A and B are shown apart, each in its own frame.
Chain A
Amino acid sequence: MVKQEVYQALGLTDAEYQKIEQIMGREPSSTELAMFSVEWSEHCGYPRSRKYLGLFPKEGKYEALIGEDSGGFVYDGLAIVFKMESHNHPSQVEPKQGAATGVGGIIRDIFTAGARPIASLDSLRFGPLSEPYNRFLLKGVVDGIAFYGNCLGVPTVGGEIYFDESYSGNCLVNAMSIGICKKEELARARAGGVGNPIMYVGSSTGKDGIGGCSVLASHEFGEGEEKRPTVQIGDPFTEKCLIEATLEALQTGYCVGIKDMGAAGLTCSSAEMAHAGGVGMEIDLSKVPLREEGMEAYEIMMSESQERMLVCVQKGKEEEIGKIFEKWDLHGVVIGYVTENNKLKVNYEGKVVAEIDTEALAKAPLYEMPAEKPNNLDEINKLDLNSIAEPKDYNEILLKLLASPTIASKEWVYSQYDHMVQTNTVVLPGSDASVLRIKGKKWGLAATSDCNSRYCFLNPYRGAQIAVAEAARNLVCSGADPTAVTDCLNFGNPEKPDRFWYFKNCVQGIADACREFNIAVISGNVSLYNESPKGPINPTPTIGMVGILPDLNKHCTQYFKNKGDVIILLGETKNELGGSEYLKVIHNKVAGDCPELDLTREKAVQKVVYAAIQQGLLSSAHDCSEGGLAVALAECCISNKNINLGASLSLVVSCQLLVRKDSLLFGETQSRVIVSCDKSKAAEIEKLAKENGVPCEQIGVVGGRELGIDGLVDLSLCKLEDAWRRAIEKMLV
Chain B
Amino acid sequence: MKFGVVVFPGSNCDHDCYDVVADVLKQPVEFIWHKETKLKEFDCIIIPGGFSYGDYLRCGAIARFSPIMEEAIKYANNGGLVIGICNGFQVLLEAGLLPGAMMRNTSLHFICKYVKLKVENTDTPFSSQYKKGQVVRIPIAHNEGNYYIDEKGLAQLKKNNQIIFRYVTNPNGAVDDIAGIVNTNRNVLGMMPHPERSSELILGSQDGVGIFKSVLDWLATR
Contact = CB atoms under 8 A, between A and B. Distances in A.
Contacts of B113: 415
B10 A415 contact: no
A240 B12 contact: yes
A423 B19 contact: yes
A418 B110 contact: yes
Q: How large is the interface on B (under 10, 10 to 19, 20 to 34, 35 or more residues)?
A: 20 to 34
B51 interface: yes
Contacts of A421: 12-13, 16, 49, 141, 197
A420 B139 contact: yes
Given A415-B111, A415-B113, A426-B203, A237 B9 contact: yes
Contact of A241 (B10, B109, B141, B203): B10
B112 A420 contact: yes
> Which among A150, A414, A437 has the greatest number of chain B C-beta atoms within 10 A?
A150
B70 interface: no
Contact of A328 (B9, B20, B111): B9
A422 B16 contact: yes
Nearest to B199: A423
A465 to B, nearest CB: 35
Contact of B112 (A152, A240, A416, A422): A416
Contacts of B50: 153
B151 interface: no
B94 interface: no
A151 B51 contact: yes
Nearest to A143: B109
A237 B51 contact: yes
Interface stretch (B52-60, B120-128, B152-160): B52-60
A235 B54 contact: yes
A552 B196 CA distance: 20
A422 B197 CA distance: 8
Nearest to A244: B9
Contacts of A151: 10, 12, 51, 54-55
A718 B111 CA distance: 24
B9 A417 contact: no
Contacts of A328: 9
> Which among B10, B19, B20, B204 has the greatest number of chain A C-beta atoms within 10 A?
B10
A439 B23 contact: yes
Interface in A408-460: 414-423, 425-426, 428, 437, 439
B111 A240 contact: no
B118 interface: no
Interface in A529-558: 552-553
Contacts of B9: 237, 240-241, 328-329
B25 to A, nearest CB: 14
Contacts of B12: 151-153, 240, 421
Given A329-B9, A439-B19, A237 B110 contact: no
Given A240-B9, A415-B112, A425 B19 contact: no
Contact of B51 (A240, A419, A439): A240
B112 A425 contact: no
B15 interface: yes
A402 interface: no
A211 interface: no
A146 interface: yes
Given A329-B9, A423-B19, A237 B56 contact: yes
Contacts of A179: none
A235 B55 CA distance: 11
B189 to A, nearest CB: 19
Interface string B28-69: 000000000000000000000111011110000000000000
Chain B interface, >50% SS class: mixed
Nearest to B112: A418
Contacts of B15: 422
Contacts of A553: 202
Contact of B110 (A236, A240, A416, A439): A416
A417 B112 contact: yes
A380 B204 CA distance: 48
Interface in A238-253: 238, 240-241
A419 B203 contact: no
A240 B139 contact: no
Interface in A144-198: 146, 150-153
Interface in B183-222: 194, 196-197, 200, 202-204
B10 A150 contact: no
Contacts of B16: 421-423
Contact of A146 (B10, B54, B110): B110
A425 B203 contact: yes
A423 B196 contact: yes
Contacts of A439: 19, 23
B119 to A, nearest CB: 20
A552 B49 CA distance: 27
B61 to A, nearest CB: 14
A236 B110 CA distance: 15
A237 B112 CA distance: 19
Nearest to A420: B197
Nearest to B201: A553
B10 A240 contact: yes
A431 B56 CA distance: 34
A420 B194 contact: yes
B27 to A, nearest CB: 17
B203 A423 contact: yes
A203 to B, nearest CB: 12
A472 B9 CA distance: 39
Nearest to A142: B109
Interface string B162-177: 0000000000000000
Contacts of B56: 237
B51 A236 contact: yes
Contacts of A417: 110, 112
23 contacts: A150-B141, A151-B10, A151-B51, A237-B51, A240-B9, A240-B54, A241-B10, A329-B9, A414-B112, A415-B111, A415-B112, A416-B110, A416-B111, A420-B194, A420-B203, A421-B12, A421-B49, A422-B15, A423-B16, A423-B197, A426-B202, A437-B202, A439-B19
Interface of A: 146, 150-153, 235-238, 240-241, 328-329, 414-423, 425-426, 428, 437, 439, 552-553
